[in-house]
Each structure stands twice: as structure tokens, then as C-alpha cells.
């Protein structure tokens, strides 16, 4: 694909300033490089746009009621669909598919291999193709793929399903981050990302209740097909239905939102002008990819996702077996996973509220990491007989997504330049995939070490580490400790960059470009772009 040149800024900045912001002062402005919103404003032919506070609140209310419910429901299914295997693991899938040795563990990881393989291509497609339509198509296909799991009769068939499930779910998180940055102001984005991400917990609650009902009902009354197949059909068909609703409701951008009046579409764009990010640009710009790869924050995001998700990898797909290892029955482990989802919902909603009130996303989100650290210590340090204490420790770990969500929202609000944004989002989620794969392959058997043989992870736990299993304990604690340090580094870096930009803006020779916010400048190019903390 031919590389597009950056928009020119020489008319706005002096040479010294341009160099300090990593901008080539000789570049010329090209209209086709501008954001999609520029077309709409060009059609206004200079007509004034007035957006008072009452109108802004009215538009926000309309946007929330149309966008948030379906995004929340889809994201809840995003979590439930990829963890349905965890419920199936104690409902007979291992026996029916003759899974032996480490086959279940690899089956669990294959979702992330598919996710990893398609993450960057899907981010490019999210930029190139209509955002709403492409996201909706991926949702529909992943629902169809998941439903097909009910027809699987062999390990090889399960491998294909898990891999392609990861491929088509790879578009959801980056797509939702783009939608949030497109429709909401920076101040609104943190709370909205926390809200739709919190439905991971709702998905866990729904999944636990449904799986428990199916397991108990099948045991009492029998069923025409295996119980684990029923849960795959339920989640798959529900995803398909929600995908159709998503396609109908969610537009590609404000300009083709059928539920907005024509004049409100322009106002909906004008209200996010303050973001300095625009609403979308389909031109691939290689210089923005290079900037993303050279930006320390891109790598800070990547390494946070990788390291923080090593402990998460085991818990996500093995939590039913983990709870069983605390001394509870298989059926009890299904229903006892429900409060964990409630903890995640409460933690994320509370975090979103605090972030909105304080404008301090990073500091507020550290509370979830500290809670997870204490919870992991309880699981690995309490004696085997203290089942309640270890279960409470598991529940505390469910607050850990607050930090992950804070950085996800910062990709939405703190990364500008559409090609750069999709690149950083891909890097972040690639780190997420690699961390989960590492966690699933090495972490679960340590956490399940105290369980009986039927509930152990597919790998044999090393007896030489008994009885404290110090290597596992150190690995988990170090991962969470390093994650906290990375968050503090990100906070320091953004504060430093904001101070530098303030100094540039205060120079007497600094002149701001007209319609600068629609020129698809990156966050480092644009001196007026202030990072949210």
C-alpha cells in the first residue's frame, strides 16, 4: 500500500519547534490526508456551528443510550465466549473429546494464538474498512464459529474452532477502543471504557449461572446432548443475535448514524473536536507506524499487557478448576465463580467513577493491581485447609483489570494519528495475547497444585518445589510488582511530556493551524495535544 505523507505543519510551527516535536517542517499539507470529519466541515462552507452545554448533554445522552448498551452486551459475550471452555472442562468435554496430557491446556491457548496471528491485520482492517460494519461482521462470524463447537467430536476439530474464535474476536477490543475515541471526549472516554469492559464480569456471572443450571438440570433430568454442548450453543446463538443488533445500531461514524438528525451529526463531531484526534482516517501512513515503534509509551503499554496478563492467563481459562482445587465440588465451583464477576464489575465501575471525578486514571487504577497482589498472596500462602480464605483471595484477583482498562482507555484518548492508534492498539493486544499464552502454559498447574488429581492442570506440578512452591509465588508477585512500576513510569512520562508541550505553546512565535484537530496529526506531532493522566 502506498505510504501517505504527513500533513504539513510548517505554517503553524517554527523550525526549532517542529524539530522538537519530531515534525518535518518542509512537509506540505494535502487535503486527502485529513480526517473524515474535514469533509463534513468543508460542506458547511464556513457556516458557524454552535454547541451549547445543553445541546452537548442532549447529544451525550442520545449517544450513550444507543452505543453503550450494545457495546456492553457484546463485550460481556466477548469474555463469556472465550471462557466457555472453562465451564465445559468440568462438564465432560475432556472425556468426550479424549483430551489427554496437555491437550486441554493447548486448546485453551489456541484462542490466543488465533488472536495474536490476526491482531495487526484486523487493526489495519478496522482502519481501512467501515468501522461499524467490519466489527459487526466479526461478531456474527465468531458467534457462528462458537456454535459449531457443539458439533465437534475430536481434538483436531476443537483446535480449529478455538483458533478461529481468537481470529474473529481479535477485532472487538481495538474496535471498541476506536469507537470510544470516535464518539466521546477524552474526559468521557475513561468512564465509558470502564463501563463496557466491566461487562466481562457480567459475562462471568451469566456464564456461571447458566453453566450451573445446565449442569444441575442435566444431572437431574438428563439431556438429549451433552451438557457442555448446550452451553456452547447457548453462548454462540446469543452472540449471533447480538451481532445482528450491533450491525443495525452501530454506525461507521457520526456521519451515517441513522438515529441522529442531520444537524446533530455535525454537532456530534463538533463535540469531540477538543480531542485533537478526529473521527477516522483511512489512509495508511508509514511514518505513523515508525513513530509508534519509536515511542516509549507504545512499548510501556506492550510490556504492561504482557507482564500483567501472565497471572491472568491461568485464572481466565482455569478458574473453575482453580475453585474446585479449594475443596468445593464441580457444581459448586461453577456457581462460586459468579461473585468473582461481581467483584470485577464493582471494581471497574468504581474505578471509572473515580477516574471521571479526579481525572487521574493511572493512580485510581493502581488499586486493582494492589488488590490482585494481596489476593494472589492469599491463594498461595494460606494453608490447604483454609478454603474460604483462598476463595476470597481469588475474588480479590478479579479487581486486577482496572489497570489494563486504564491503559486501554489511554490508547483511546492519548494516542493520536489513526494509523498510529491502530498500531499501538495492536501492540497492546499482542502483549495481552503473549502474556495469556505464557500464563496458561506455566501458571495453572502451580495454582492447582493442592487439588486432587481430577482437578489438576494438565501438566504435572513439580514436586521439588513443594510445599511452598516458591518459584510460582515469586513469578506471580514479581509480575504484579513490575506492572505497578510500569504504570508509575507511564504517569511520570505523560506528566513530563505535558510540561514540554505547555512550554512550546507558551512561545510567542507559536501559531496554531486552522482545523488542526482534523489533520490526523499524531500526539507527538501536535503541540496542542495534551495527554490525559
Note the pLDDT tens digit of each residue in 339-396.
878 888 899 999 989 988 888 999 999 999 999 888 888 877 787 778 788 888 888 8
- pLDDT of res. 35: 65
- Distance CA(436)–CA(313), nearest Å, equals 4
Residues of the chain by 3-state class (helix, strand, coil), percent to 5: 75, 0, 25
- pLDDT of res. 226: 85
CA distances from 37 to 33, 169, 265, 528 (A): 11, 28, 10, 18
Flag whether 362 is in a domain.
Answer: yes
Bond before 467 cis per omega within 30 degrees? yes
Flag whether 44 is in a domain.
Answer: no
Tell me the whole-structure pTM to 2 decimals.
0.82
The helix or strand, by DSSP H or E, that contains position 359, with its residue range, turns out to be none
Alpha-helical runs (H) found in 89-102: 93-96
Q: What is the mean pLDDT of the chain?
A: 81
Question: Binning pLDDT at 50, 70 and 90, where does residue 33 land?
Answer: low
* Whether 440 contacts 113, CB under 8 Å: no
Residue 28 has phi, psi (to 5 degrees) of -100, 145
Q: Which residue has the cell 491482531?
A: 119
The CATH number covering residue 60 comes to: 1.20.1250.20
Distance of CA 49 to the CA centre of its chain: 35
Flag whether 1 is in a domain.
Answer: no
Helices (H) and strands (E) in the chain, counts: 21, 0
Flag whether 529 is in a domain.
Answer: no
- Distance CA(508)–CA(498), nearest Å, equals 18
Beta-carbon-side half-sphere exposure of residue 79 (alpha carbons within 13 Å): 26
DSSP string, 374-385: HHHHHHHHS-TT
Orientation angle between helical segments 172-183 and 186-221, nearest 10 degrees: 140
| pLDDT reading at 460 higher than 70 | no
Q: Would you say how long the chain is, in residues? A: 533
Each residue's pLDDT tens digit, 251-299:
999 988 999 998 899 899 889 888 877 777 788 899 999 999 999 999 9
Flag whether 273 is in a domain.
Answer: yes
Joined together, the cell numbers standing for residue 246 give 450491533
* Whether 520 contacts 27, CB under 8 Å: no
Q: Which residue has the cell 494519528?
A: 417
- pLDDT of res. 321: 59
| pLDDT reading at 454 higher than 70 | no
For 88: left if phi > 0, alpha if psi spans -120 to 50, otherwise beta; the answer is alpha
Flag whether 10 is in a domain.
Answer: no
Number of domains in the chain: 1
- pLDDT of res. 243: 96
- Give percent of the chain above pLDDT 70: 80
Is 8 or 227 the better-scoring residue by pLDDT? 227
- Distance CA(513)–CA(12), nearest Å, equals 5
Flag whether 330 is in a domain.
Answer: yes
- Distance CA(338)–CA(206), nearest Å, equals 8
| pLDDT reading at 4 higher than 50 | no
Structural domain of 196: 53-518
Joined together, the cell numbers standing for residue 120 give 495487526
Each residue's pLDDT tens digit, 76-120:
998 888 778 877 877 888 888 888 877 887 888 888 899 999 999
| pLDDT reading at 326 higher than 80 | no
- pLDDT of res. 315: 59
DSSP string, 199-226: HHHHHHHHHHHHHHHHHHHHHHH--SS-
- Distance CA(274)–CA(265), nearest Å, equals 16
CA distances from 467 to 45, 374, 473 (A): 75, 20, 12
Q: What average pLDDT score do residues 315-325 get?
A: 59
Residue 20 has phi, psi (to 5 degrees) of -65, -25
| pLDDT reading at 488 higher than 80 | yes
Q: What average pLDDT score do residues 41-47 get?
A: 57
Torsion, Cα of 236, 240, 245, 251 (10° steps): 110
Question: 389-399: string of b/e by CB count within 10 Å (b at 16+)?
Answer: ebbbbbbbbbb
| pLDDT reading at 171 higher than 60 | yes
Residue 180 has phi, psi (to 5 degrees) of -65, -40
- pLDDT of res. 77: 92
Flag whether 8 is in a domain.
Answer: no
| pLDDT reading at 26 higher than 50 | no
| Contacts by residues 92-96 (CB-CB < 8 Å, ≥ 24 positions apart) | 92/226, 92/227, 92/228, 93/226, 93/228, 96/226, 96/228
Question: Binning pLDDT at 50, 70 and 90, where does residue 43 land?
Answer: low
- pLDDT of res. 41: 60
Q: Is 39 helix (H, G, I), strand (E, B) or coil?
A: helix
Q: What average pLDDT score do residues 296-323 get?
A: 78
- pLDDT of res. 30: 40
Among 150-154, 292-296, 314-318, 425-429, where is mean pLDDT lowest?
Answer: 314-318
Question: Binning pLDDT at 50, 70 and 90, where does residue 176 land?
Answer: very high
For 459: left if phi > 0, alpha if psi spans -120 to 50, otherwise beta; the answer is beta
- Distance CA(133)–CA(89), nearest Å, equals 34
- Least Cα distance to 283 among 118, 121, 520 occurs for 520
For 415: left if phi > 0, alpha if psi spans -120 to 50, otherwise beta; the answer is beta
Amino acid at each position: 500500500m502506498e505510504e501517505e505523507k504527513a500533513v504539513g505543519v510548517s505554517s503553524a510551527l517554527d523550525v526549532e519547534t517542529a524539530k522538537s516535536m519530531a515534525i518535518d517542517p518542509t512537509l506540505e499539507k494535502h487535503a486527502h490526508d485529513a480526517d473524515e470529519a474535514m469533509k463534513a466541515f468543508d460542506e458547511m462552507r464556513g457556516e458557524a456551528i454552535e454547541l451549547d452545554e445543553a445541546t452537548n448533554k442532549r447529544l451525550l445522552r442520545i449517544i450513550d443510550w444507543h452505543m453503550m448498551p450494545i457495546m456492553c452486551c457484546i463485550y460481556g459475550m466477548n469474555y463469556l465466549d472465550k471462557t466457555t471452555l472453562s465451564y465445559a472442562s468440568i462438564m465432560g468435554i475432556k472425556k468426550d473429546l479424549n483430551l489427554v496430557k496437555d491437550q486441554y491446556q493447548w486448546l485453551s491457548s489456541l484462542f490466543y494464538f488465533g488472536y495474536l496471528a490476526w491482531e495487526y491485520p484486523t487493526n489495519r482492517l478496522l482502519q481501512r474498512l467501515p468501522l461499524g460494519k467490519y466489527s459487526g461482521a466479526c461478531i456474527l462470524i465468531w458467534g457462528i464459529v462458537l456454535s459449531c463447537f457443539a458439533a465437534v467430536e475430536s481434538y483436531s476439530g476443537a483446535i480449529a474452532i478455538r483458533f478461529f474464535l481468537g481470529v474473529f474476536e481479535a477485532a472487538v477490543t481495538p474496535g471498541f477502543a476506536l469507537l470510544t475515541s470516535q464518539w466521546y471526549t477524552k474526559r468521557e472516554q475513561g468512564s465509558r471504557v470502564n463501563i463496557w469492559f466491566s461487562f466481562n464480569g457480567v459475562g462471568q456471572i451469566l456464564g456461571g449461572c447458566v453453566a450451573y443450571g445446565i449442569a444441575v438440570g442435566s444431572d437431574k433430568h438428563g439431556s438429549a446432548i451433552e451438557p457442555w454442548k448446550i452451553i456452547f450453543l447457548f453462548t454462540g446463538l446469543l452472540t449471533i443475535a447480538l451481532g445482528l443488533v450491533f450491525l443495525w445500531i452501530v454506525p461507521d461514524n457520526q456521519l451515517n448514524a441513522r438515529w441522529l438528525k442531520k444537524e446533530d451529526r455535525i454537532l456530534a463531531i463538533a463535540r469531540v473536536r477538543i480531542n485533537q484526534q478526529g473521527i477516522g482516517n483511512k489512509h495508511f501512513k508509514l511514518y505513523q507506524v515508525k513513530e509508534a515503534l519509536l515511542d516509549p509509551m507504545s512499548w510501556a503499554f506492550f510490556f504492561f499487557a504482557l507482564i500483567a496478563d501472565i497471572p491472568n492467563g491461568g485464572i481466565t481459562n482455569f478458574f473453575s478448576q482453580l475453585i474446585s482445587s479449594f475443596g468445593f465440588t464441580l457444581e459448586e465451583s461453577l456457581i462460586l465463580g459468579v461473585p468473582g464477576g461481581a467483584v470485577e464489575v464493582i471494581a471497574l465501575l468504581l474505578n471509572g467513577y473515580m477516574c471521571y471525578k479526579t481525572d487521574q486514571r493511572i493512580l485510581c487504577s493502581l488499586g486493582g493491581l494492589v488488590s490482585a497482589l494481596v489476593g494472589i498472596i492469599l491463594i498461595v500462602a494460606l494453608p490447604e485447609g483454609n478454603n474460604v480464605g483462598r476463595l476470597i483471595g481469588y475474588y480479590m484477583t478479579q479487581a486486577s483489570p482496572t489497570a489494563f482498562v486504564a491503559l486501554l482507555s489511554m490508547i483511546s484518548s492519548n494516542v493520536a494519528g489513526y494509523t498510529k492508534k491502530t498500531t499501538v492498539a495492536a501492540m497492546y493486544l499482542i502483549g495481552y495475547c503473549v502474556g495469556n499464552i505464557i500464563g496458561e502454559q506455566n501458571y495453572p498447574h502451580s495454582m492447582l497444585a493442592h487439588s486432587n488429581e481430577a482437578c489438576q492442570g494438565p501438566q504435572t506440578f513439580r514436586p521439588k518445589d513443594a510445599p511452598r512452591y516458591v518459584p510460582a509465588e515469586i513469578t506471580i508477585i514479581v509480575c504484579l510488582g513490575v506492572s505497578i512500576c510500569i504504570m508509575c513510569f507511564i504517569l511520570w512520562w505523560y506528566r513530563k511530556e505535558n510540561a514540554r508541550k505547555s512550554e512550546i505553546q507558551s512561545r510567542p512565535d507559536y501559531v496554531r493551524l486552522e482545523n488542526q484537530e482534523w489533520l490526523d496529526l499524531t500526539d507527538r506531532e501536535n503541540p496542542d495535544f495534551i495527554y490525559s493522566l
